[in-house]
């Protein structure tokens, strides 16, 4: 491996349509407000992640036909623009950004496909995140990669039994097969599958994610609160 590995961060997200995103949050705040909160979480996460050195970014979206809508939504928040149908960086030192549809299947199948494609393209380190954890930042992920040297995988747990980050040095299907998704034992089963496959795993400190109204209210009271409130004001 080179001194600076070719690295890709996969960002899984959905088109922000009311009733299709943050459905558990919507049970108490309503579908329209939940969609606006989702937009604000994505906006703040993008701010938190700009820009890691030696890292390319890929927005993996659903549904599969939402490509143009996702670019229309996200590109104004990035240092990129469309030129002849291609996403190109604006200015020096800005990393490459790409957009790709998620494949069909459950979350494990979608993630497995995205990782497989990334390693097939020659990336040497691949990480994946969702959009439920606004506390995540570029510095946090950079530290994770440094701390995980010598390990096969890096996992960032959430308090509810899932995880906010999965990093991989070489492709394996172990974290994606036989795992219950969006369950309180998602992380535990993932670690069990990796152990059975003989893989070494670094666990990062846990972070909170935003699933319910109390999670959102807690985030508003955190140091991220001003950013989240400003992003919510700008949400459609």
d(CA 142, CA 230): 26
What pLDDT is stored for residue 3 in this prediction? Answer: 58
Most confident of 3-7, 24-28, 50-54, 73-77: 24-28
d(CA 42, CA 11): 10
What pLDDT is stored for residue 1 in this prediction? Answer: 40
Lowest mean pLDDT among 26-30, 92-96, 126-130: 92-96
Confidence category of residue 69, pLDDT binned at 50, 70, 90: very high
| End-to-end CA gap in the chain | 44
The rounded percent of the chain whose pLDDT value lies above 90 is 81
DSSP 91: S
Query: What average pLDDT does the structure give for the chain?
Result: 93
Both tokens of residue 31? 């579908």
Strands 86-89, 80-83: pairing is antiparallel
Lowest mean pLDDT among 15-24, 75-84, 132-141, 144-153: 75-84
d(CA 218, CA 200): 34
Confidence category of residue 54, pLDDT binned at 50, 70, 90: confident
What pLDDT is stored for residue 4 in this prediction? Answer: 63
**Matching CATH number, 7-234, of 3.90.550.10, 3.40.50.720, 3.40.50.970, 3.40.50.1390:** 3.90.550.10
Exposed, middle or buried: residue 40 (CB in 10 Å: 0-12, 13-18, 19+)?
buried
């Amino acid at each position: 491996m080179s001194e600076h590995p070719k690295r890709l961060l996969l960002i899984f997200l959905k088109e922000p349509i009311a009733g299709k995103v943050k459905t558990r949050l919507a049970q108490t705040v309503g579908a329209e407000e939940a969609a606006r909160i989702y937009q604000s979480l994505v906006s703040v996460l993008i701010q938190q992640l700009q820009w890691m050195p030696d890292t390319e970014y890929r927005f993996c979206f659903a549904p599969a036909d939402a490509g143009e809508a996702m670019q229309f939504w996200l590109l104004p928040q990035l240092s990129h623009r469309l030129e002849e149908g291609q996403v190109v960086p604006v200015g020096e030192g800005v990393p490459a950004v790409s957009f790709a549809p998620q494949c069909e299947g459950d979350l494990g199948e979608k993630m497995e496909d995205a990782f497989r494609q990334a390693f097939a393209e020659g990336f040497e380190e691949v990480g994946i995140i969702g959009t439920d954890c606004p506390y995540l930042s570029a510095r946090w992920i950079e530290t994770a990669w440094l701390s995980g040297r010598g390990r096969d995988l890096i996992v960032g747990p959430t308090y509810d039994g899932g995880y906010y980050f999965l990093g991989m040095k070489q492709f394996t299907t172990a974290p994606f097969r036989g795992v219950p998704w969006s369950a309180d034992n998602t992380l535990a089963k993932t670690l069990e599958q990796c152990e059975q496959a003989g893989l070494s795993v670094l666990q990062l400190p846990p972070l909170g994610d935003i699933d319910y109204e109390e999670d959102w209210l807690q985030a508003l009271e955190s140091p991220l609160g001003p950013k989240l409130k400003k992003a919510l004001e700008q949400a459609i």
